[in-house]
């Protein structure tokens, strides 16, 4: 407070706009193409069509430095490469705008919070429950599918007397930790199992225990911050950010759930079911989910008796509000475009993986998580990083005495947990934009979650080394 009284900004208040950060990272990536030696690994195409690195085949190639024009070209290229995620954001946001316009969500949340206030259930228990709910959802779907639910988390947090960060954290941290540590994530665990030939989703017991412990610890970190903010609102990192239009429009005592609300909530429940059943049992992903969101919007408009013009106006307004978030996704992908076109991505991966062979199994397992965490900044895609690094990490792990299951656990830890603090993770940046939380302030909070969860994962990782976790 003293610094603010003197007119000085705190460190997180001096961090530039998110777009400036992402553009600066694109420029930095372009500089790397001039100073980092270009190189590549040989790759083979497996039966699923993925291109996998062949260990020991790294070799120098002709330098391909990025030009000034390439820096700006990376933005549209990044948008093209992220088209599915971008359209997912736009269509899902439009659908949720239609659903939210009926008042069903606000009415149901208001009734729920009124019941909580009248009962003896501590509001911190609600934080833990919602964090676990979205962590469970994150077991089967990626963070980008959880973007539209950000407003739900924010509304609940504000209704409980907390701030924007608490609402954002329940969704970002919950979904992110579920995706990062879950035992049945197809794009991470499934890809790794396929690369090394392990039975699909094997080792579920230890992974499930790790997921539960990580989700519990992260929810307790959120709850601790929430209690601090509720006790003293001046300690909130976002105390100066307007919440107009994000909270509740009337007193909790005035909320009721009518027939139309119940029908709209059934549509929302069906949407949740599709998000879980589709990817796990029917092989659905982004394209199918986008179709489901459009169907949900149409059904909701019919239930609410909206005219075609009104429904489309609401839908387009919701999609338009997320244009900025969609741009963030494309710019984040632009960093990867620069590094790949400059042929320095493999050089960086090779340099990061080489030191592991000089350590024993315990230290090597921990070091693997840090290396994957560093690579994740450049390759935020779980399946993409698995395809790029695991063909190298599996033999490296075997050389130092790690089972393949342990190497996968190290990959999960490094690849996923940092998703909640890296600006190259488009989904996280989009959710920050929706919740009106500047990235610098989010980082100040989220880094505490990351460090706490890393400690839990390291404990499980060391246990895996100790018991020679297998069977492979």
Contact 464, 366 (CB under 8 A): no
Cβ count within 10 A of residue 237 = 22
Structure tokens at 206: 């230890």
Cβ count within 10 A of residue 457 = 26
What one-character DSSP code corresponds to residue 153? H
Measured N-to-C along each axis, helices 164-181 and 404-417 cross at an angle, to the nearest 10 degrees, of 160
pLDDT in tens, the chain (472 residues): 434 444 565 544 565 666 777 788 889 889 999 999 999 888 777 665 556 667 678 899 999 999 999 999 999 998 888 787 778 778 887 888 898 888 887 788 778 777 777 777 788 888 998 899 889 877 766 676 677 678 878 888 988 889 999 999 999 999 899 989 988 776 688 778 877 777 767 888 899 999 999 999 999 999 999 999 999 999 999 999 988 877 666 666 777 888 998 999 899 888 878 866 776 677 776 788 789 889 999 999 999 999 999 999 999 988 887 777 677 767 877 887 898 899 988 887 777 677 787 788 999 999 999 989 988 887 777 766 776 677 678 877 876 888 889 999 999 999 889 989 988 787 888 889 889 999 889 999 999 999 999 999 999 999 999 999 976 6
pLDDT one-digit tens code per residue, 188-231: 887 788 777 777 678 888 999 999 999 999 999 999 999 999 99
Distance CA(36)–CA(360), nearest Å, equals 29
Q: Is the dihedral of CA 242, 244, 246, 247 positive or negative?
A: positive
Distance CA(81)–CA(366), nearest Å, equals 32
Structure tokens at 255: 């909320």
Distance CA(464)–CA(409), nearest Å, equals 9
Contact 252, 113 (CB under 8 A): yes
Distance CA(87)–CA(145), nearest Å, equals 11
Contact 264, 299 (CB under 8 A): no
Please count the helices (runs of H) and the strands (runs of E) in the chain.
20, 4
Distance CA(122)–CA(342), nearest Å, equals 54
């Amino acid at each position: 407070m003293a610094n603010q009284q003197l007119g000085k900004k705190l460190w997180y208040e001096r961090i530039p706009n998110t777009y400036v950060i992402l553009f600066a990272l694109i420029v930095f990536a372009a500089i790397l193409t001039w100073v980092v030696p270009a190189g590549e690994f040989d790759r083979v195409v497996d039966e699923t069509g993925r291109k996998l690195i062949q260990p020991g085949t790294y070799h120098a190639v002709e330098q391909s430095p990025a030009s000034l024009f390439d820096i700006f070209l990376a933005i549209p290229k990044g948008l093209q490469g992220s088209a599915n995620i971008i359209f997912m954001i736009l269509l899902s946001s439009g659908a949720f705008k239609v659903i939210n316009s009926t008042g069903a969500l606000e009415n149901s949340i208001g009734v729920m919070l009124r019941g909580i206030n009248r009962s003896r259930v501590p509001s911190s228990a609600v934080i833990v429950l919602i964090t676990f709910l979205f962590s469970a959802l994150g077991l089967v779907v990626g963070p980008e599918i959880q973007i539209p639910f950000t407003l739900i988390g924010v509304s609940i947090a504000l209704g409980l007397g907390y701030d924007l960060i608490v609402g954002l954290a329940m969704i970002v941290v919950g979904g992110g930790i579920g995706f990062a540590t879950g035992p049945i994530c197809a794009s991470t665990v499934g890809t790794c199992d396929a690369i090394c030939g392990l039975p699909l989703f094997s080792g579920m017991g230890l992974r499930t225990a790790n997921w539960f412990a990580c989700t519990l610890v992260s929810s307790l970190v959120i709850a601790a911050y929430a209690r601090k903010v509720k006790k003293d609102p001046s300690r909130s990192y976002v105390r100066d950010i307007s919440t107009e239009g994000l909270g509740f429009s009337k007193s909790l005592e005035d909320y009721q759930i009518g027939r139309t609300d119940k029908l709209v909530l059934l549509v929302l429940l069906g949407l949740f079911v599709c998000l879980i059943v589709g990817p796990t049992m029917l092989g659905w992903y982004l394209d199918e989910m986008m179709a489901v969101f459009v169907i949900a919007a149409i059904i909701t408009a019919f239930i609410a008796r909206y005219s075609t013009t009104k429904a489309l106006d609401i839908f387009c307004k919701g999609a338009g509000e997320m244009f900025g978030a969609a741009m963030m996704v494309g710019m984040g992908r632009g960093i990867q475009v620069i590094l790949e076109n400059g042929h320095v991505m493999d050089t960086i991966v090779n340099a990061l993986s080489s030191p592991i062979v000089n350590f024993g199994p315990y230290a090597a397992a921990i070091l693997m998580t840090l290396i994957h965490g560093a690579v994740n900044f450049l390759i935020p895609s779980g399946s993409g990083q698995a395809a790029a690094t695991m063909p190298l990490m599996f033999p490296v792990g075997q050389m130092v005495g790690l089972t393949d299951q342990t190497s996968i656990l190290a990959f999960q830890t490094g690849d996923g947990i940092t998703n909640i603090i890296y600006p190259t993770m488009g989904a996280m940046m989009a959710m920050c934009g929706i919740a009106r939380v500047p990235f610098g302030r989010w980082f100040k909070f989220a880094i505490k979650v990351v460090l706490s969860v890393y400690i839990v994962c390291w404990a499980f990782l060391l246990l895996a080394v100790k018991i020679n976790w297998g069977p492979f």
